[in-house]
């Protein structure tokens, strides 16, 4: 079921809200949890004295001490393996990868141990891995990736990709409360560019529920992360031509809110799946395949996918721009779909 915009999060009326960047929302959410629950600790490269490469944990070590805000050695498997061990004996670890790209170095731990321990032996592994991801600033092939799709094939993991400051905070709190390993993708391009009202109080945004970012009648876009804003701009273009676009912000990739997507598609009959990650084998394929199968009778056009092409993320600005889906690309895809 889709949550309408006004139902977002669980913020009750009367809540104090403040304008916050996406980054501040994450930082505040994490600090709040650490104040509230002594079991929560933070570990990662340069998260302590330096406050993290993106300064999400700035000031945390002063407040919580060096044993709850741990500067780790440059060893991703040690970091995440240690989180799993600590979680099993009762802690609630939150790890930071310096860039999401470096999680490749802990792939084995996540897919082999963290993801499977509960199914195999019933041992819960409540860890959160924070992953600054995404491109758009000439980070090149190794500082720009969106590796969520590779993990979205591994049963036992949960994956969230918030697009708004409010969701970023609420999903982080939910991720920490969740009894499973949660990969928390933070889009770097949103960190300081996106600012919105965020309740001061603690609230949980449900994992596994999509958010209706914008209502529309003629076409649906399903997307997540920074692409929500690209989609919004493109939809505004289409609106000028009297085409009304509904935007579903998936927010969670594993488990994804199939019902919400199907509901929207049953209304609009046309779907564009949009993501920043590369196309082949990207999670967009799962969405497209599911919708094409389960809404077969409702579709007035083939489900389209728009994603980055199948290459590494290039460094040089013109190449990177051609790589990451742009507003014009989305407009083109939507227009084609509208005309189908």
Partner 1 sequence: MAIAREAEPVGSLKEVEDAGLDREDLLQIYRNLLMTRGIEERGHILYKQGKIPGSFYTGRGNEAAAVGVATAMGSEDVGTPLHRDMGVHITRGVEPWRIFAQYMGRVDGPTKGRDGNVHMADDRLGLIAMVSHLPAMLPVAVGCALAFRIREEQRVAVGWFGEGASARGDTHEAMTLAGTRHLPMVFICDNNQWAYSTPSHLEYASEHIADRAASYGFEGVVVDGTDVLAVYREAKRAIEKARAGGGPTLVECMTLRMEGHAVHDDAFYVPKELFEEWAARDPLERFRTWLREHAELSDDEEHEIAGDVKKVLNEAIRRAEESPLPDVDTLLEGVYATPEELETPHHK
Ligand X SMILES: Cc1ncc(C[n+]2csc(CCOP(=O)(O)OP(=O)(O)O)c2C)c(N)n1
Catalytically annotated residues: 143
Q: Which is nearer to a copy of itself, 105 or 204 (CB)?
A: 105
Please select the residue that binds a copy of itself; options are 123, 259, 311, 316, rule is CB under 8 A.
Answer: 311
Please select the residue that binds partner 1; options are 62, 108, 201, 336, rule is CB under 8 A.
Answer: 108
Q: In the bound complex, which residue of the shown chain has the CB atom lying closest to ligand X?
A: 102
Q: What is the DSSP letter of 3?
A: B
Edge-to-edge strand order for the sheet containing 211-214? 211-214, 245-249, 219-223, 271-278, 304-308
84 part of the interface to partner 1, by CB under 8 A: yes
154 part of the interface to a copy of itself, by CB under 8 A: yes
208 part of the interface to a copy of itself, by CB under 8 A: no
Instruction: Identify whether the C-beta of residue 292 lies closer than 8 Å to the C-beta of residue 321.
Output: no
Q: Which is nearer to a copy of itself, 64 or 151 (CB)?
A: 151
Contacts (CB under 8 A) with a copy of itself, residues 259-278: 278
**What is the C-alpha radius of gyration for the chain, rounded to an integer number of angstroms?**
19
Nearest to residue 131, comparing CAs of 102, 170, 173? Answer: 102
156 part of the interface to a copy of itself, by CB under 8 A: yes
Instruction: Answer whether the bond into residue 26 is a cis peptide, omega within 30°.
Output: no
Site of tokens 């391009």: 189
Site of tokens 């969106």: 146
CA distances from 148 to 10, 101, 177, 188, 337 (A): 26, 10, 21, 14, 26
Please select the residue that binds partner 1; options are 20, 31, 109, 270, rule is CB under 8 A.
Answer: 109
88 part of the interface to a copy of itself, by CB under 8 A: no
Q: How far is it, in rounded angstroms, from Cα 213 to Cα 179?
A: 28
Residue 292 contact among ligand X, partner 1, a copy of itself, none, beta carbon within 5 to 8 Å by kind: a copy of itself
Please select the residue that binds partner 1; options are 170, 284, 314, 325, rule is CB under 8 A.
Answer: 314
Q: Which is nearer to a copy of itself, 120 or 241 (CB)?
A: 120
Q: How far is it, in rounded angstroms, from Cα 206 to Cα 183?
A: 15
Q: Which is nearer to a copy of itself, 14 or 155 (CB)?
A: 155
138 part of the interface to partner 1, by CB under 8 A: yes
Residue 215 contact among ligand X, a copy of itself, partner 1, none, beta carbon within 5 to 8 Å by kind: none
Q: Which is nearer to ligand X, 106 or 330 (CB)?
A: 106
Residue 68 contact among ligand X, partner 1, a copy of itself, none, beta carbon within 5 to 8 Å by kind: partner 1
Instruction: Identify whether the C-beta of residue 143 lies closer than 8 Å to the C-beta of residue 136.
Output: no
Nearest to residue 163, comparing CAs of 89, 226, 91, 92? Answer: 226
Instruction: Identify whether the C-beta of residue 188 lies closer than 8 Å to the C-beta of residue 133.
Output: yes
Q: Which is nearer to partner 1, 5 or 309 (CB)?
A: 309
224 part of the interface to a copy of itself, by CB under 8 A: no
Least Cβ distance, residue 336 to a copy of itself (angstroms) = 12
Cβ neighbourhood burial of 49 (10 Å; 0-12, 13-18, 19+): exposed
State the DSSP string of 143-157.
Answer: SS--THHHHTTSTT-
Strand pairing partners for 245? 219
Binding residues vs ligand X (CB under 6 A): 45, 74, 76, 98, 102, 105
43 part of the interface to a copy of itself, by CB under 8 A: no
Instruction: Identify whether the C-beta of residue 271 lies closer than 8 Å to the C-beta of residue 238.
Output: no
Residues that bind a copy of itself (CB under 8 A): 101, 104-105, 107-108, 111-112, 115-116, 119-120, 141-142, 149-150, 152-156, 254, 278, 280-286, 288-290, 292-294, 296, 299, 301-305, 310-312
């Amino acid at each position: 079921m889709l949550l309408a915009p006004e139902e977002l999060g669980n913020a009750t009326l009367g809540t104090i809200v403040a304008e916050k960047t996406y980054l501040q929302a994450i930082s505040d959410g994490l600090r709040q949890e650490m104040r509230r629950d002594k079991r929560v600790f933070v570990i990662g490269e340069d998260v302590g004295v330096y406050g993290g490469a993106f300064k999400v944990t700035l000031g945390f070590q002063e407040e919580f001490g060096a044993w709850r805000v741990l500067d780790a050695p440059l060893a991703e498997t040690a970091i995440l393996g240690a989180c799993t061990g600590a979680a099993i004996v009762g802690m609630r670890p939150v790890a930071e990868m310096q860039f999401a790209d470096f999680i490749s170095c802990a792939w084995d731990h996540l897919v082999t141990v963290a993801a499977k321990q509960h199914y195999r032996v019933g041992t819960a592994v409540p860890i959160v891995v924070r992953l600054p991801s995404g491109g758009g600033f000439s980070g090149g092939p190794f500082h720009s990736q969106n590796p969520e799709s590779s993990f979205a094939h591994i049963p036992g993991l949960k994956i969230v990709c918030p697009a708004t400051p409010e969701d970023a905070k609420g999903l982080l709190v939910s991720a920490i409360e969740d009894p499973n390993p949660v990969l928390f993708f933070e889009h770097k391009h949103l960190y300081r560019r996106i600012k919105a009202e965020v309740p001061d109080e603690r609230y949980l945004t449900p994992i596994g529920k999509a958010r209706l970012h914008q209502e529309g009648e003629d076409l649906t876009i399903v997307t997540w992360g920074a692409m929500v804003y690209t989609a919004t701009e493109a939809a505004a273009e289409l609106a000028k031509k009297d085409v009304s676009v509904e935007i579903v912000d998936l927010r969670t990739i594993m488990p994804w809110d199939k019902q919400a997507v199907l509901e929207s598609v049953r209304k609009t009959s046309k779907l564009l799946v949009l993501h920043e990650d590369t196309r082949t084998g990207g999670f967009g394929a799962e969405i497209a395949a599911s919708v094409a199968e389960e809404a077969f009778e409702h579709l007035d056009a083939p489900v389209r996918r728009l994603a980055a092409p199948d290459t590494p993320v290039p460094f040089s600005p013109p190449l990177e721009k051609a790589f990451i889906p742009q507003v014009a690309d989305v407009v083109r895809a939507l227009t084609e779909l509208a005309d189908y």
